[in-house]
């Protein structure tokens, strides 16, 4: 009979010629690290405990051996260290614990890696006798040096990685789709990059392709990448999903393929909370390769490491009555103090002129409940966390100013390419979605009735249609969309108010060019006219609702009405925008150097006089 040996602990120290702030984003990406290291995907069953915490049972199969363990949350201090402990229920190990510490030194970084494990049964003993600990250290060192070489721009990938074999015929299908995408109007010279991503990227990048990440990696405009992905979806190169992101952990806990299927609420089993969908905040568009080109397996490579939740700067597990001090400084900003477990939370603004407030977890009014409150400032260069409750808690400090990589449904539905390429992506019949902030632009032709009388219906209609195309080009170039035409008028929508104003200015400054081109074209066609298009434009931003109208997304509400009324106050060649829009921090720089005057007027449908700016660009 062979008895199980005690656990083993091994610690390594490595020195890399790259500073910690560059290495941390690479080495804290534990999902990417695990996939490249060849560890198998695993599935997680999350079930709530009676106290509201979550129990996570993970399972995987590796070389025919089934393994199960309790998945404990990671602990970390962003930029410095992370650690995790797994207690196994089956397989060749009793437990596995890792701790990674990154510290600055004169020529770069010092990395300390600690691995602790205990074998289970004969298989576990054989695993250890074969050099499990030593081999782990050798493999980890090799990957750390790969990441350092990537940081020094001497290799193209963070880690060595070989994609799984492609399905039969996938290469030929991808080549054909890439050529079609490149020759279309939305390729922007990026089709080959997308094809390479599908063929060679790690699965952690493909399971949720996020256009904002690709735009940063490719150094390309976000609109170009979004248009590329939308066109690739229409052609069958990508599949698209709408994800309802948890406002706490940021995970995509509900995924549907059409806007019509989008639920109002979702449950996050990781955080054990129910949350609402917000079109402009946590409904995200994402993509995946078509399965015929690159099928993806089901499961996780890492469920909750520090790279997954980059807004969380501190995550620490404290036993009842325990306290902990961490050597760290947090910059001035807005932070949220909370626990992973459902319960209270506190929002603070840290000015940076004194110590960071302590995070205190206090007993709540009911048995097992708790509240979170800021305590006295900790000493400079120190963070303090205290668990004064009778239960174990994972305490969290997160950055509220951090913006994730999500492109929201509001952003993408205000793109012209979205409406042109995927016109069937609409809400459920009768459904309304609240939009917290959208910028609306109304345009109209000055003297259009007289224009029809002077040059005739046919010539006037041709001029109107071509001016619509001109407007669509300017709106698309500024990341907006034409919502609809109303006679000779146009309604456009923008997620970014500054872009809306730039579009309006671009239209007024480009209308002479449009008139010149139109006159030249009609002359070549034997229908010369000297008539000129003159436009009136109104702009306002605010709340509204999105609805389906005539099988298209449309907007309704007082913000829409005000933008239309402001256009009615405009004279040809001008732009009228609401005073509230002119005060937007992103809009003010766009107004510099433009002739403007302030006015107030009574507008139909509004109880109070409305102040606005009249621009003459």
**DSSP assignment of 44-62, as one string?**
EEEEE-TTS-EEEEEEEEE
Domain 8-151: give its CATH architecture: 2-Layer Sandwich (3.30)
Query: Which residue bears the tokens 């205190």?
Result: 360
The yes-or-no verdict on residue 251 having pLDDT over 90 is no
Q: How confident is the model at residue 403 (pLDDT cuts 50, 70, 90)?
A: low
CATH number of 426-616: 3.30.70.1230
- Looking at residue 453, its pLDDT comes to 72
Query: Do residues 353 and 331 touch, judged by C-beta distance below 8 A?
Result: no
* pLDDT tens track for 94-104: 999 999 999 99
State the pLDDT at residue 436: 87
Joined together, the tokens standing for residue 56 give 């996570």
pLDDT at 269: 80
Instruction: Tell me how long the chain is.
Output: 617
Q: What is the mean pLDDT of residues 379-399?
A: 95
The mean pLDDT of 216-238, rounded to a whole number, is 96
Residue 530, phi-psi category: left (phi > 0), alpha (psi -120 to 50), beta (remainder): alpha
How do the residues of the chain divide into helix, strand and coil, expressed in percent and rounded to 5?
30, 35, 35
User: Which residue is associated with the tokens 């000779």?
Assistant: 488
| Mean predicted confidence (pLDDT) in 196-204 | 96
* For range 429-435, the mean pLDDT: 87
DSSP string, 253-310: EEEESSGGG--SEEEETTTTEEEE--TTTTEEEEEEE-TTT----SSBS-SS-TTTTT
The segment(s) of the chain belonging to CATH 3.30.530.20 are 8-151
Strands 357-363 and 382-387, by their bridges, are: parallel
Cβ atoms of 529 and 455 closer than 8 Å:
yes
Q: Provide the pLDDT for residue 525.
A: 63
CATH 3.30.70.1230 domain position(s) in the chain: 426-616
498/375 Cα distance (integer angstroms) = 40
**Pair type for strands 370-377 and 273-276:** unpaired
List residues bridging with 95 in a β-sheet. 87, 118
Please work out, in degrees rounded to the nearest 5, the angle formed at the alpha carbon of residue 61 by the alpha carbons of 56 and 64. 155
Which residue has better confidence, 4 or 405?
405
Does the pLDDT at position 3 exceed 50? no
Instruction: Give the pLDDT confidence of 576-601 residue by residue, as tens digits.
Output: 999 999 999 999 999 998 999 999 99
pLDDT of residue 2: 35
* pLDDT cut 90: percent of the chain above it: 71
How does residue 173 score in pLDDT terms, banded at 50, 70 and 90?
A: very high
The pLDDT of residue 4 is: 39
Calculate mean pLDDT across residues 533-552. Answer: 91
Do 27 and 144 form a contact (C-beta atoms < 8 A)?
yes
**In the predicted model, what is the mean pLDDT of residues 1-27?**
84
Neighbouring C-alpha atoms within 13 Å toward the C-beta of 432:
8
Residues 6+ apart with CB under 8 A from 191: 178, 179, 181, 182, 228
* Ranges 37-41, 67-71, 511-515: which has the least confidence: 511-515
For residue 290, give both structure tokens: 């078509």
pLDDT of residue 520: 66
SS3 493: strand
**Average pLDDT over every residue of 273-302:** 90
3-state SS, residue 117: strand
């Amino acid at each position: 009979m062979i008895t199980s040996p005690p656990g083993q602990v091994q610690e390594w120290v490595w020195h890399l010629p790259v500073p910690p702030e560059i290495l941390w984003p690479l080495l804290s990406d534990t999902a990417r690290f695990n996939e490249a290291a060849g560890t198998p995907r695993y599935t997680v069953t999350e079930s709530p405990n009676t106290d509201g915490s979550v129990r996570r049972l993970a399972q995987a199969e590796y070389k025919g051996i089934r393994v199960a363990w309790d998945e404990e949350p990671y602990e970390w201090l962003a930029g410095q260290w992370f650690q995790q402990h797994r207690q196994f229920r089956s397989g060749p190990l009793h437990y596995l614990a890792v701790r990674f510490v990154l510290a600055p030194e004169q020529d770069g970084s010092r990395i300390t890696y600690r691995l602790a494990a205990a074998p289970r049964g004969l298989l576990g003993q054989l695993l250890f006798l074969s050099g499990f600990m030593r081999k782990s250290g050798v493999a980890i060192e090799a990957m750390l040096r790969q990441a350092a070489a990537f940081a020094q721009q001497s290799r193209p990938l963070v880690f060595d990685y070989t994609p799984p074999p492609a399905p039969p015929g996938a290469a030929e299908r991808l080549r054909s789709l890439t050529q079609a995408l490149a020759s279309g109007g939305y390729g922007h010279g990026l089709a080959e990059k997308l094809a390479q991503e599908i063929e060679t990227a790690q699965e952690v990048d493909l399971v949720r392709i996020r256009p904002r990440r690709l735009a940063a990696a490719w150094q390309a405009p976000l609109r170009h990448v979004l248009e590329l992905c939308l066109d690739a979806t229409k052609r069958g190169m990508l599949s698209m999903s709408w994800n309802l992101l948890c406002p706490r952990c940021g995970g995509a806990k509900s995924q549907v393929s059409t806007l019509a299927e989008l639920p109002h609420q979702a449950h996050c089993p990781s955080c054990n909370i129910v949350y609402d969908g917000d079109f402009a905040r946590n409904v995200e568009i994402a993509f995946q390769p078509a399965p015929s080109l690159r099928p993806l397996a089901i499961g996780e490579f890492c469920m909750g490491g520090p790279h997954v939740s980059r807004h969380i700067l501190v995550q620490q597990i404290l036993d009842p009555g325990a306290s902990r001090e961490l050597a760290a400084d947090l910059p001035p900003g807005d932070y949220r103090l909370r626990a992973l477990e459902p319960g209270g939370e506190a929002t603070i603004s840290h000015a940076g002129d004194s110590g960071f407030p302590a995070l205190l977890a206090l007993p709540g009014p009911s048995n097992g409940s708790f509240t979170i409150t800021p305590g006295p400032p900790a000493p400079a260069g120190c963070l303090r966390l205290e668990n004064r409750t009778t239960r174990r808690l994972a305490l969290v400090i997160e950055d509220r100013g951090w913006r994730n990589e999500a492109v929201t449904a509001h952003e993408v539905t205000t793109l012209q390419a979205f409406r042109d390429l995927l016109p069937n992506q609409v809400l459920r019949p009768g459904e309304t979605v609240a939009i917290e902030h959208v910028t609306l632009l109304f345009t109209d032709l000055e003297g259009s009735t007289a224009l029809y009388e002077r040059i005739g219906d046919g010539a006037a209609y041709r001029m109107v249609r071509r001016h619509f195309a001109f407007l669509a080009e300017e709106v698309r170039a500024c990341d907006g969309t034409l919502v609809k035409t109303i006679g000779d008028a146009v309604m456009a929508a923008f997620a970014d108010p500054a872009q809306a104003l730039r579009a309006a200015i671009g239209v007024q400054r480009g209308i002479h060019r449009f008139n010149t081109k139109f006159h030249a074209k009609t002359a070549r066609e034997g229908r010369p006219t000297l008539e000129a298009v003159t436009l009136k434009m109104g702009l306002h931003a605010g709340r509204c609702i999105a609805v389906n109208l005539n099988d298209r997304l449309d907007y309704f509400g007082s913000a829409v009405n005000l933008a239309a009324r402001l256009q009615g106050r405009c004279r040809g060649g001008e732009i009228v925008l609401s005073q509230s829009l002119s005060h937007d921090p992103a809009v003010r720089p766009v107004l510099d150097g433009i002739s403007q005057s302030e006015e107030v007027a009574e507008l139909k449908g509004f109880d109070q006089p409305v102040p606005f700016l009249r621009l003459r660009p």
